[in-house]
Structure 1
Amino acid sequence: MPKNLKDFRGKEPIFIDANIFLHHAFDVNPVSVEFLKKVESFDLKAYTSALVIEEVTFKLIMQSASNFLDKVTLQGRSPKIWWKPSACSERKSPQD
C-alpha cells in the first residue's frame, strides 16, 4: 500500500480524511489538491464519512468566524468558571 498520495494509483478505493479536504481548502498542500482533482475526474475511487464532512465544515466555519474577531485572550477578564485542581472535590465557588 502506498504511503504517499502521489504514489496512490487507485486500484483500490481510498478513504479521504478531513486533513486532505482542509489542505485543499487552505491551499497548503499541492499534493492534496492534485489528489482531489483525480478523485473529481473519477481517475481514483475514494470515499469519506459523514463525520469527516462534519469536521471539515466545523473547521471551515470556525476559520471563517475567526476573521471577524480581534485577538482573543483570557488575560484581564473575570472568569465565569472557577476550577482549582486541589479543590475539585469540594465544589466551592470563589466567593465562598
Structure 2
Amino acid sequence: MNVLKRPLVTEKYAAMNEVGKYTFEVDKKANKVEIKKAVEKLYGVTVKSVATMRSVGKVKSKYTKSGAVTGRTSLIKKAIVTLKEGEEIDFYSGI
C-alpha cells in the first residue's frame, strides 16, 4: 500500500510550510504511524507529529441534453505533518 499519494500545494498550505508543517493527501486506510514512517523514509526528516482529517466529497451537478446529472466527488484524507525544529522538505528541488 502506497501511503502518501501527493503533497498538497496551495497558498494556505504553502504558508504552513514556513512554520514546518507540510500537508499530504494520503491513503484512506492509512493511520498516523504509517504516515509518519512513510514521510521519514521518503524525505529523510524527523516527524514531530501527524494530524489527519477526512474531507467529504462535494456534490456536483451538470446539465446535459438528457437532463441534470448529479454526482459526488470522492472522499480524500489529508495529513498535516509537523517536522522537528530546523528541518524542512523541498518539493521543488527536482523541477
* Length-normalised TM-score, structure 1: 0.21
Structure richer in helix, relative to its length: 1
Structure with higher Rg: it is: 1
Structure richer in strand, relative to its length: 2
* Length-normalised TM-score, structure 2: 0.21
Larger RCO: 1 or 2 (CA < 8 Å, sep 6+): 2
